[in-house]
Amino acid sequence: MKKQIKAPLFETLLSHAKRDVVSFHTPGHKNGRSIDSKLKSFTGEDVYSFDVTVFPEVDSLHDPTGPIKKAQELMAQAYGVKNSFFLVNGSSQGNIAMFMAACDPGDSVIISRSSHKSIMSGVILSGVWPIWIQPKIDQNLDIIFNSSADEIKDALDKFPEAKAVFVTSPTYNGVTMDLFKIAELCHSRGKILLVDEAHGPHLKFHQDLPVSAVEAGADLCVQSTHKILSAMSQGSVLHFNSDLIDFNRVRKIVSLLQTTSPNYLVLASIDLARRQAFVQGEAMLEKVMQAADYGRKKINQLGKFTCFTRQHIMSLGYDLDPTKLTINVTRTGFSGYQIEDILAKEYNVQVDCADIFNVIAIMGMGSDKSDVNALVDALEEIEDKYQGQQQNWILQIPSLSTEMVMMPRDVYFAAKTKRVPLSKAVGYISAQTLTPYPPGIPVLIPGERITKEISDYLTDMSAKDIRVSGQETETLRTLKVVVT
C-alpha cells in the first residue's frame, strides 16, 4: 500500500503551477492575475494557479487517462471497492447518479421517507416508482430513526418487484443501520443496495467506528468527502462495487451529471483527503473520537443539555458514529434554532444545523479538543444566563397513509398543473412536495393522491401559520395539483 502515499492529481497540479505556464486556456483570470484584489489579498495568490481547465497534463474528469485516473484508482483501493468516481457537485450529484445508474424508468425502489432532498431529485430524474417506508420517531431522544433491517425485510417481502433498496446511513445524527444484514437481505434476492453515506466517508478508517457501506457490500455508495474528511466543499466520491449494475452505465451517468469545467482545487483536495485518511486516518480519528467522547461526557454533566451515547443507540439496535454530537436542548425552554442562534452570535460557535429539539455539532478531521471546550463552555454559560419557558413540543409523525398514483417524473415534467384551494384539493394528485418541520418528513410528494386527512392536516398547519417547506406561496391556502 506504499502507493497510497502518492497524490497523483495534487502532485501534477503542483508541478504544473511551478512551471508558471502562459495560460491561453480558461478560466479567464489567468492564474489569478485578474482576480479581485481584495479576494486575492485574503486568499493569497498561489491557489489560483490550481484553477486550470482540462488539458492532457492535468487529465479530464470525463475520460480520465492520467493523474485523475490514478487518483481515482487509489481512492478505490483505499476503500476496497472496484471503482471510485470523483464528484464535484457533492453527494447530491452522487445520489441522483445512483438512481439513474441502477434503475430504468418504471423500476420501483424501496426508500425511507426521511431522506435528503437530492433523493427526490434522483427519483424524478430517473423515473422510478418510490416505495416509501416510514421512519420512526424516538420521543425520548427527539430524533428520527430510519427503518431497521427487519423493516426493510418486511418491505422486500411485501414488494418483491422492487429492483433496489436505497438507505441513508449514517443519518444526520450519526445513527447507522445494520448494513451487513441489509446487504445480505438485498443480495440474497438479487436486489441492488444503494447507500447514501454522505456523512460517513471516514468510517472505513478507524476500527472502532461503525461499519461502512463499502465494507458491508453496498453496490453503489456515495460519500461527501468534504463533510468529515478534508476535501473542500462539493468534493464527494461515488464508489462502485457491484455485480448487479453495469459499470459502463455508471460511468456514463456520472459523466452526464458532471460539469465539463470541474474545479481542480476541489479535485486535488479529494485526492489529498484520501491520502490523509489512509495514512493518518486512524490516529487523527482517534483524537477526534476522544474529543467527542470528552464533549459528550461534559455536556451530559450540564443540567439542561443532553447528548445521547453510543451505548444507548446500540441498545436500540443501531450504531452511532460518535463524532457527531446531537445536543438535546428541550430542558432549556428554548428551541434548537434559538440555541444555534445564541451560540453563533454570542459565542462564535457555529453548529452544523438545528431543529426544534436539538443542535447538531459535527466534528471532522480538523476538529480538536479546544473546539469542544469552546462549545461546552458556551453551553454552560447559556444554561446559567438564559431562562426559557417550558415548551410542550412533541416530535411526531402524522399517521397519514399515502397513495402514489403517478410517477413523480411524469408529474414533474409532463403533467399540466393548477392551484386549488386546500379545502377543495381532496381527490386531486399533488404536484408538489410539502415537508413540515419538524419532523422533516414529506406529507405529500408529486404523484400522491391528496386525501381528506392530508388536506385536514395541512389546513391545521396553515391555521397555525406553520411554514411548510415546499409551499410555493406565502401562505398554505392552495395546493398545486395535476390537471386530469
The grid coordinates listed for 393 are: 413540543
| Cβ(454)–Cβ(401) below 8 Å | no
Residue range at the interface with ligand PLP (CB under 6 A); choices 40-48, 88-96, 183-191, 470-478: 88-96
Residue range at the interface with ligand PLP (CB under 6 A); choices 86-94, 272-280, 357-365, 373-381: 86-94
Using CB atoms, what's the residue nearest to ligand PLP? 90
Of the pair 116, 153, the CB lying nearest ligand PLP is at 116
Instruction: State the minimum distance, in angstroms, from the CB of residue 111 to ligand PLP.
Output: 12
Of the pair 171, 338, the CB lying nearest ligand PLP is at 171
Q: With binding defined as CB under 6 A, does residue 174 bind ligand PLP?
A: no
Rama region for 352: left / alpha / beta (φ>0; ψ in -120 to 50; rest): alpha
Of the pair 134, 168, the CB lying nearest ligand PLP is at 168
Cα 128 off chain centre by? 20
Q: With binding defined as CB under 6 A, does residue 91 bind ligand PLP?
A: yes
Relative to beta strand 236-240, strand 417-421 is unpaired
Of the pair 178, 196, the CB lying nearest ligand PLP is at 196
Q: With binding defined as CB under 6 A, does residue 90 bind ligand PLP?
A: yes
Instruction: State the minimum distance, in angstroms, from the CB of residue 119 to ligand PLP.
Output: 8
Instruction: State the minimum distance, in angstroms, from the CB of residue 117 to ligand PLP.
Output: 8
Give 167's strand partners: 195
Q: How far apart are CA 306 and CA 298, in angstroms?
A: 9
Quickly list DSSP for 295-318: HHHHHHHSSS-EE--HHHHHHTT-
User: Does the bond joining 170 to the residue before it have cis omega, within 30 degrees of 0?
Assistant: yes
Torsion angle in degrees (nearest 10) through CA of 208, 209, 211, 213: -150
Instruction: State the minimum distance, in angstroms, from the CB of residue 323 to ligand PLP.
Output: 15
| Cβ(376)–Cβ(119) below 8 Å | no
For 454, half-sphere exposure in the C-beta direction (CA atoms, 13 angstrom radius) is: 24
Query: Under rule CB under 6 A, which residues in 420-459 are in contact with ligand PLP?
Result: none
Provide the strand spans (E) within 123-233: 129-133, 136-138, 143-145, 164-168, 175-176, 192-196, 220-223
Of the pair 200, 470, the CB lying nearest ligand PLP is at 200
Instruction: State the minimum distance, in angstroms, from the CB of residue 226 to ligand PLP.
Output: 6
Instruction: State the minimum distance, in angstroms, from the CB of residue 272 to ligand PLP.
Output: 17
Q: With binding defined as CB under 6 A, does residue 116 bind ligand PLP?
A: yes
- Sign of the dihedral through C-alpha 357, 363, 367, 372: positive
Q: With binding defined as CB under 6 A, does residue 364 bind ligand PLP?
A: no
Q: With binding defined as CB under 6 A, does residue 461 bind ligand PLP?
A: no
Quickly list DSSP for 146-164: PPPHHHHHHHHHH-TT--E
Q: With binding defined as CB under 6 A, does residue 168 bind ligand PLP?
A: yes
Quickly list DSSP for 391-459: -------------B-S-HHIIIII--EEEEEGGG-TTSBB-S-BEETTTT--SB-TTBB--HHHHHHHH
Q: With binding defined as CB under 6 A, does residue 236 bind ligand PLP?
A: yes
Of the pair 257, 454, the CB lying nearest ligand PLP is at 257
Query: Under rule CB under 6 A, which residues in 190-209 are in contact with ligand PLP?
Result: 196, 198-199
Instruction: State the minimum distance, in angstroms, from the CB of residue 368 to ligand PLP.
Output: 23
Q: With binding defined as CB under 6 A, does residue 172 bind ligand PLP?
A: yes
Q: With binding defined as CB under 6 A, does residue 147 bind ligand PLP?
A: no
The 95-114 site mask, x for binding ligand PLP (CB under 6 A), equals x-------------------
Q: With binding defined as CB under 6 A, does residue 224 bind ligand PLP?
A: yes
Among 49, 92, 430, 455, binds ligand PLP (CB under 6 A): 92
Q: With binding defined as CB under 6 A, does residue 126 bind ligand PLP?
A: no
Contacts of 299 (CB under 8 A, 6+ apart): 305, 306, 307, 325, 327, 376, 379
Q: Identify the CA nearest to 362 among candidates 203, 174, 213, 235.
A: 174
Q: With binding defined as CB under 6 A, does residue 352 bind ligand PLP?
A: no
Q: How far apart are CA 82 and CA 240, in angstroms?
A: 6
What letter represents residue 4's amino acid? Answer: Q
Instruction: State the minimum distance, in angstroms, from the CB of residue 3 to ligand PLP.
Output: 27
Instruction: State the minimum distance, in angstroms, from the CB of residue 279 to ligand PLP.
Output: 24
Of the pair 12, 72, the CB lying nearest ligand PLP is at 72
Q: How far apart are CA 249 and CA 245, in angstroms?
A: 8
Instruction: State the minimum distance, in angstroms, from the CB of residue 170 to ligand PLP.
Output: 8
Q: With binding defined as CB under 6 A, does residue 212 bind ligand PLP?
A: no
Which residue ranges make up the site for ligand PLP (CB under 6 A)? 90-92, 95, 116, 118, 168, 172, 196, 198-199, 224, 236
